[in-house]
Amino acid sequence: MTERKELYGHPVGLYILFFTELWERFSYYGMRALLVLFLVASATSGNPGLGWDKADALSLYGTYTALVYIASIPGGLLADKFLGQKKAVMVGGWLLVVGHGILAIPALWAFYTGLALIVAGVGCLKPNISTMVGGLYAHNDDRRDKAFTIFYIGINIGALIAGVLVGSVAVTYGWHYGFGLAGIGMAIGQIVFLFGQKHLKGVGEATTNLPEEERSAVKRPLNNVEKDRMIVMFLSFFIMIVFWGAFEQAGGLMNLYADEKTNRVLSFINFEVPAPWFQSVNSFFIITLGSAVAAFWYKRKKKGKESSSIFKMAVGTIIMGWGFFFMSAASMQYQAAGSSAMYWLVLAYLFHTVGELSVSPVALSFITKLAPLKYASLMMGAYFAATGLGNYVSGWVGEYSQTAGELEIFTGIAIFCTIFGILVLLLLKKLKQLAHGAEDATDQSTAVPLKNTEQIETP
């Protein structure tokens, strides 16, 4: 692997990708924080929205966020077959700049056109920039998981700033000014990526530019180990669908709950907290707790205790699900008193964050460890597509809550996630066997012994 200039123990390229993704997520989460609130805002108010009913707004939110991530499959294929990850990230970034810019125009055609361009842009950028992070490290480099945690903190710095800044601009000056500010953030991200190219040489290249050894690996058929690893990756996607189907209530149902049923007044300073600000609570916890959660899992692994990626994802899903018990308590308080306290939302987001830190960065690293070189971006795209399906489930559940009741939905999500996580833990041994030691600190370019002592070469 090419020798790379390092900063704080990691390649400088990691920080280029860190800041590019930070501003991409600023643009995405800034718009996400506004979307449902803009859709349900009265068309005749001082800050006019589209005046939709809640069920339709939540349905569109689920469909849109699903498409954003499902588009990662064609985005991954485009990179694997033609452009390479680096050029695909560049194309996606410019599509996002234009898409967010068009959303600033107060017209219905601009709204749908902007959403379509953002779907295409995220589809090109998201899976490929994540794959590039893995490409900075050798297969046996134990810094890889830490790198994805650093990268993930960058994502959430962008989301934290977006919820406060874009939300404040939208509430004060108008929805479309908020959408426009999100586009400016994406433009900054593109500038960072352009000027950081020298630190990304040899990473994310088109297959025609790869060394001969890697081109041969791309062309040959999958061996048995690689096929088993593909199976365990696809099975892990079910965890992603369940996790994000519950977690993404944050931007839909919980966003509306904060706006309409939560007492957001800080009486000691006579200030009402804007509802979009709650979209930054999760990001704040990720930034402040990210290192602690990563250190917990690292120490657990050093002690020889179970700490595989699948184990972390199952435990994270359970913890995230328990966060909805706080929303159940908020719903009961609302039924009794006519409003609920802000601390219920904060506690819910705290549990959601700890769960997310045990699932999302771990899953990103997991895919880069298991995916064969010839399908590297495609499998990352499939991972994000599973995330997208989770978002669609989230929208459907949010829409269903308008008839089933929020208390029932929040409690049901908590119970389902707990049962699902336990089932995954029961299947853990078999799933680890299918991974064939991909998470062991060994060079995966060497032969890996299988149970029948047959040697199969792995990438």
Distance CA 195, CA 411 (A): 48
Show the DSSP H helices in 71-107 as ranges: 72-78, 85-103
Distance CA 302, CA 294 (A): 12
CA nearest neighbour of 363 among 374, 371, 373: 371
Distance CA 437, CA 89 (A): 31
Residue 214 is predicted with a pLDDT of 61
CA 314 remoteness from chain centre = 17
Q: Under a CB-based contact definition with an 8 Å cutoff, are residues 257 and 341 in contact?
A: no
CA nearest neighbour of 329 among 350, 315, 343, 316: 343
Question: Can you read off the two tokens belonging to residue 29?
Answer: 């989460």
In the chain, what is the greatest distance between 2 CA atoms, to the nearest angstrom?
72
Q: Which helix (H) or strand (E) holds 395?
A: helix 376-404
Number of neighbouring beta carbons within 10 Å of residue 456: 14
Residue 403 is predicted with a pLDDT of 84
State the burial class of residue 338 (Cβ atoms within 10 Å of its Cβ: 0-12, 13-18, 19+). exposed
For the whole model, what pTM was predicted?
0.75
Report the relative pairing of strands 265-266 and 455-457 from DSSP bridges.
Answer: unpaired
E strands in 332-416? none
Residue 246 is predicted with a pLDDT of 93
Residues 6+ apart with CB under 8 A from 193: 16, 20, 89, 90, 93
Cα angle vertex 394, ends 388, 399, to 5°? 135
Cα angle vertex 373, ends 424, 302, to 5°? 50
Q: Which helix (H) or strand (E) holds 6?
A: strand 6-7
Q: What is the pLDDT along the chain (459 residues), one digit of tens a residue?
A: 556 787 777 888 899 999 999 999 898 888 888 888 899 988 888 888 899 988 888 888 888 888 888 888 898 888 888 888 899 999 999 999 999 999 989 889 999 999 999 999 999 998 889 888 888 887 667 777 778 878 888 888 888 888 789 888 988 898 999 989 988 999 999 999 999 888 888 787 776 655 666 666 666 788 888 888 888 888 889 999 999 999 988 878 888 888 889 999 998 888 888 888 888 888 889 888 988 888 898 889 889 898 888 999 999 999 999 999 999 999 999 999 998 999 999 999 999 999 999 998 888 778 878 888 777 777 878 888 888 888 888 888 888 888 888 899 999 999 999 999 999 999 999 988 888 877 764 333 322 333 332 333 333
State the burial class of residue 416 (Cβ atoms within 10 Å of its Cβ: 0-12, 13-18, 19+). middle
Sign of CA dihedral 76, 82, 87, 93: negative
CA nearest neighbour of 374 among 459, 448, 310: 459
DSSP one-letter code for 274: P
Residue 210 is predicted with a pLDDT of 57
Residue 340 is predicted with a pLDDT of 94
Backbone angles phi, psi at 448, to 5 degrees: -115, 125
